[in-house]
Structure 1
Amino acid sequence: MMTKGFAGSNGLMDVPAPDWIVNNECLFAHWGSFLLAMIKHGSIETIHKTDSLELAPMEFGLLIDGGLYVTDSPDDDDPRTLLIHFLQRGDLFSTAISGSKHLQLRPHCKTTCLIIREQAFEPFRAEFPLWDSIFPLVSAGMAQAYSRALSDSVGRDQDRIRRVLTMLARHPTAIDSKLGREVEANKQQIRDLAGVQKRSATRAFRALEESGVVSFYGYKRLFYRENAV
């Protein structure tokens, strides 16, 4: 993972606010000052596909470009992973959601984030004290996404895979085409994100292909048609 300090404008002031901030008149009024405080005290970090992004409990980030998979931390009772969220430009994120539960962050592609690390946290908070009101909302949003993911993932393996395909196809990194939404991913990545074993995933992929929902081209590309029967 490559890290560099912020030096001048790279269009960061154009990063859109998350919807939950836009819809809160009080918070949205402070979005500009929040960005300025992040730029002053944070660092731009570029995470490549082979890396992961580690955050301490009080650290947080703003996604600038690319995409981050948010997954749970598998345990001994259930070693499968679960895709919780697929972060996009403008999303605020943390990995701490409750107690000792921490989420994992992995890049979909080369991804750029603006991060407030531990050593910069107190200077940032001193300059932007409203963060004490925003941070619980960030953590609560992640916790709600985790709860929804647990609920949505109950059922057949085919449904778990289709849920992941839908999330990937709705992300800005996917591209519209005549064949559907073009997604950069392979079968192994999808079954890992869905928490489905290879044998069961093979059957699920075959059924989805036969029904016209998905078509695979090469090793790293697929086309997804969300409204196919």
Structure 2
Amino acid sequence: MMAGIGFAGSSGIMDVPAPSWIEGDEPLFSQWGQFLIAMIKHGTVETFRRTEAISMASSEFGLLIEGGVFATDEPKRVDGRRVLVQFFQRGDLFAAAVSSNLQFQLTPHCRTICLIVRERALDAFKNEFLSWARLRPLLNDGLAQAYSQALIETVGRDQDRIRRVLAMLAKHPTSTDTKLGSEIEAGKQLIRDLAGVQKRSATRAFQALVEAGCVEFHGYKRLFYKEPQREPQTVRHKHQQTGAVCQRSQQRR
């Protein structure tokens, strides 16, 4: 057990925030402390290196304590593209399988610490935390919804797929806010792998994002990302009005 992740007075696990979907469920949220105690008692603290696959049986689950974990749907669709489903952060509950037909590959973004309840301890955990029968289906539903949303968001141009990945990386606690934008520790190869984009197309997309001022690369594994500037609503409205006037003028001619 690592220093700072013990049970009594721990500043590593006992202060882990509950996921938002549990905060919104009053009965489950009131039992968050009990849930953590049961996980600490029956789970194991495991540390993973960057890109080291997290192997988990379908019934197992984990709580992310420190770092970040990519959940990806491995290529099995017609287009053979990988889909980044979620980028888990501290306090997120995760699993490698929602059902026999929907399984994810879990890969750490950096050195990552998780608390995992393995199959051998699952029955003891469930006997202690009786609300698991309610919590696990909600976890599965959330993962399934994230997968459906990811499929919707990844339909379109390769540049949009890459921008989506960059936005997810920028919003994660492992990024740092700077004057240049969100500082992200990631290289072009990782980004295009997560986006499911071929190298040639990714090169063009990166160049377009650089020219648009959204991305600034520093070396091979560091970049700065800024959200694209959106045209103010008042300006758009003025353009729409001008366009409408021009259209009416043309119709009169």
Deviation of the 1:174 alpha carbon: 0.4
Residues 159, 205 of structure 2: 8 Å contact kept:
yes
Distance in 2 between residues matched to 1:7 and 1:118, nearest whole Å = 22
Are 1:17 and 2:27 an aligned pair? no
Range that drifts further, 97-106 or 165-174: 97-106
1:33 corresponds in structure 2 to: 34
Residues 60, 117 of structure 1: 8 Å contact kept:
yes
Deviation of the 1:75 alpha carbon: 2.0
Distance in 1 between residues matched to 2:32 and 2:152, nearest whole Å = 32
Bigger relative contact order (CA 8 A; separation at least 6):
1
Range that drifts further, 10-19 or 208-217: 10-19
Which SS does the other structure have where 1:84 is aligned? strand
1:83-134 C-alpha deviation (Å, 9 max, x unpaired)? 0000000000112123332111000000000000000000000000101100
Deviation of the 1:24 alpha carbon: 1.1
Counting only pairs closer than 5 Å after superposition, residues 64-83 of structure 1 correspond to structure 2 as 64-75=65-76, 77-83=78-84
Residues 175, 184 of structure 2: 8 Å contact kept:
yes
Residues 211, 228 of structure 1: 8 Å contact kept:
no
Are 1:118 and 2:119 an aligned pair? yes
More strand per residue: 1
Which SS does the other structure have where 1:85 is aligned? strand
Residues 165, 224 of structure 1: 8 Å contact kept:
yes
Which SS does the other structure have where 1:86 is aligned? strand
Counting only pairs closer than 5 Å after superposition, residues 132-151 of structure 1 correspond to structure 2 as 132-151=133-152
Distance in 2 between residues matched to 1:60 and 1:127, nearest whole Å = 16
1:202-221 C-alpha deviation (Å, 9 max, x unpaired)? 00000000000001000110
Q: Give the length in aligned residue pairs.
A: 226
Residues 212, 228 of structure 1: 8 Å contact kept:
no
In the superposition, the TM-score normalised over structure 1's length comes to 0.95
1:44 corresponds in structure 2 to: 45
Counting only pairs closer than 5 Å after superposition, residues 74-223 of structure 1 correspond to structure 2 as 74-75=75-76, 77-223=78-224
Percent identity among equivalent residues? 58
Which SS does the other structure have where 1:36 is aligned? helix
> Structure 2 unaligned runs (5+)?
231-253
Which SS does the other structure have where 1:115 is aligned? strand
Residues 181, 225 of structure 1: 8 Å contact kept:
yes
Residues 47, 110 of structure 1: 8 Å contact kept:
yes
2:226 corresponds in structure 1 to: 225
- AA of the residue aligned to 1:107: P
Residues 51, 109 of structure 2: 8 Å contact kept:
no
Residues 169, 224 of structure 1: 8 Å contact kept:
yes
Distance in 1 between residues matched to 2:158 and 2:80, nearest whole Å = 15
In the superposition, the TM-score normalised over structure 2's length comes to 0.86
Which SS does the other structure have where 1:14 is aligned? coil
- AA of the residue aligned to 2:210: E
Whose radius of gyration is greater, 1 or 2?
Answer: 2
2:245 corresponds in structure 1 to: none
Which SS does the other structure have where 2:14 is aligned? helix
> Structure 1 unaligned runs (5+)?
none
CA-atom RMSD, angstroms? Answer: 1.5
- AA of the residue aligned to 2:28: L
- AA of the residue aligned to 2:160: D
- AA of the residue aligned to 1:63: L
Distance in 1 between residues matched to 2:31 and 2:6, nearest whole Å = 23
Deviation of the 1:73 alpha carbon: 2.1
